[in-house]
A and B are shown apart, each in its own frame.
Chain A
Amino acid sequence: MPEPEMYDLIIIGGGPGGLSAGIYAMRAVLKTVLFEMGMPGGQMGMSDEVENYPGCELIGGDELSKKFLKHAQSYGLEMISQKVKAVEPGLEFHSVQLVTGDSMRTHSVILATGGSPVKLNIPGESVYYGSGVSYCAVCDGFFFKDKTVVVVGGGDSAAEEALYLAKLAKQVYLVHRRDTLRAGMILQQRVKAECKIEILWNSIPTAINGDDGEVNAVSLKNTKTGDQRELATDGVFIFIGFEPNNILVPTGTKLNTDGFVITDEQCATNISGIYAIGDLREKYAKQIVTAAADGCTASLSAAHFVEKKKAIADVCEAPEDL
């Protein structure tokens, strides 16, 4: 049986981090393949508008995703729409196993698998998922035109999505467990200025209720007084943070207590030749621009790593009389 093909770099994930890594890897002439099982762009593609990516004052998330993709493809980046099953580190090379049973060998791996929305884990949440419960306002918002919706959360995502939903819905309740929002000041100002949004401070949802297979109310508890109330709503949009998609992170990789990968400033993990970027790694700001920066850093570091590895291999394999 022929040996699996050998790559310099395998990138897993096609969000802004993975695609940026692809651009830098191709420019560094690394034999590279990128795996993305969904639509390239990742979370970026699910944003209605992006207005903090330098050089683009206002751009649709899907449009920016297309630009990243086109840029990466302009260098001839090989992309495969296939699910990766596992990453197995090795001393000479790393292996990437696919769900098809195929295996690929590589000198280095960049993990760019991003994150997934954190769930509330309250009664009714999974029952009514897709029937009023959503984690993506851009995808599902238009089902709630002229209706009442509840947005749960207090960070940038919750504020952005509440503002997006305010363009469609009749009324938006922003439910937040504290008495101040965590969102950036500009978003806070916009939320407070939007007459369709009412913020319900110090409140947490305790159950999502429904009838005939659809959401019709959410049970809320006041965190200060303990008072319970029921709020009629047609939909519940949950944006309380992201958890890392770390299932492909090899055993032995250092993670923090929340499951994010700990890296050095070159985005390198504690396993030689394996890098983690974007929302998967522990860092202060999880933004498109920082994911893209991580992709650049990791690819430049991987290029140096691969070059060094090949140089050592050449010396070792050189005939003794040379």
Chain B
Amino acid sequence: MTIDVNKENYDKEVLESSIPVLVDFWGPKCTNCFALLPTVEQLEKEYKDKLKVTKLDASQNRRLCMNLKVMKLPTILLVHNGEEVDRIKGEITPEQLTEKVNTFMNQNS
């Protein structure tokens, strides 16, 4: 199940996670973010308990975004063992996202 993350639980859910994590930064007016949603959900189903999928509403977590240097929506962070392994930002196609996550999972699971 997708977990909503914010400044309160980011460290626990993302940085301290024992499994690889996908953080999906979205905003209520970001249509490109909504377009990626089915792909993110599909990836979550595919990897089940091997990948933790989290969502972060950037409009409600501006300071956290600044700290993470996220200034573009959509942005997807791929994190493992507390380290950012990959960052995908801007105009991301579903195919590109799937490919990046597959590579990430091959290398980190």
- On A, residues with C-beta under 8 Å from B are 37-39, 41, 45-46, 48, 60, 62, 65, 81, 83, 99, 129-132, 134, 138-140, 142-143, 145, 213-214, 235
- B72 adjacent to chain A (CB < 8 Å): yes
The total number of A-B Cβ pairs within 8 Å is 64
Among candidates A39, A41, A139, residue contacting B73 with C-beta atoms closer than 8 Å = A139
- In the assembled complex, the Cα of A131 lies from the Cα of B93 at a distance in Å of 19
B65 near A62: Cβ-Cβ < 8 Å: no
Chain B residues in 8 Å Cβ range of A62? 29, 31
Whether A83 contacts B69 in the complex (CB less than 8 A), given A62-B31, A130-B90, comes out as no
Q: Which residues on the A side are within 8 Å of B72 (C-beta)? A: 129-131, 134, 139-140, 143
24 contacts between A and B (CB under 8 A): A37-B35, A37-B94, A38-B31, A38-B35, A39-B31, A41-B31, A60-B29, A83-B93, A129-B89, A129-B90, A130-B71, A130-B72, A130-B90, A131-B69, A131-B71, A132-B71, A139-B27, A139-B32, A140-B71, A142-B58, A143-B62, A143-B65, A214-B71, A235-B71
What 1/0 flags go to B10-36 for Cβ under 8 Å of A?
Answer: 000000000000000001011110110
Q: Roughly how many angstroms separate A132 CA and B65 CA in the complex, as a whole number? A: 12
Q: Is the CB of A45 within 8 A of B31?
A: yes
Complex Cα distance A52/B30, Å? 21
Q: Find A140's partner among B35, B73, B93, B95 (CB 8 Å cutoff).
A: B73
A sample of 4 more A-B contacts (CB under 8 A), given A38-B32, A41-B31, is A39-B32, A39-B34, A131-B71, A132-B71
- The answer to whether A99 and B69 touch across the interface, beta carbons within 8 angstroms, is no
In the bound assembly, the distance between CA atoms of A83 and B99 in angstroms comes to 15
Interface size class of B (residues with CB under 8 A): 20 to 34
Within the complex, what minimum Cβ distance (angstroms) separates B73 from chain A?
5
Residues of B within 8 A of A39 (CB): 31-32, 34-35
**Do A48 and B29 touch (CB < 8 A)?**
yes
Give A46's nearest chain B residue, CB to CB. Answer: B31
Q: Is the CB of B102 closer than 8 A to any CB of chain A?
A: no
Which B residues touch A83, using CB under 8 A? 93, 95
Question: Which chain A positions have C-beta within 8 A of B66?
Answer: 143
Check: B54 CB closer than 8 A to any chain A CB. no
B77 CB, min distance to chain A CBs, angstroms: 12
**Complex CA–CA separation, A36 to B35 (angstroms):** 10
* B59 located at the interface, meaning its Cβ lies under 8 Å from any Cβ of chain A in the complex: yes
In the complex formed, the residue of B with least CB distance to A145 is B62
> Complex formed: what's the CA distance from A170 to B29 in Å?
21
Chain A residues with Cβ under 8 A from B59's Cβ? 142
The reply to whether B71 and A139 form a contact with Cβ atoms under 8 Å apart is: no
Contacts of B34 in A (CB 8 A): 39
Q: Shortest Cβ distance from B78 into chain A, in angstroms?
A: 15
A138 to B59, CA, bound (A): 11
> Known contacts A41-B31, A46-B31, A143-B66: does B71 contact A99 (CB below 8 Å)?
no
Rounded to whole angstroms, the CA-CA distance of A140 and B74 in the bound complex is 9
Interface-centre pick from A37, A46, A130, A131 (highest chain B CB count, 10 A) = A130
Quick one: given A37-B94, A129-B72, are A139 and B29 in contact (CB under 8 Å)? Answer: yes
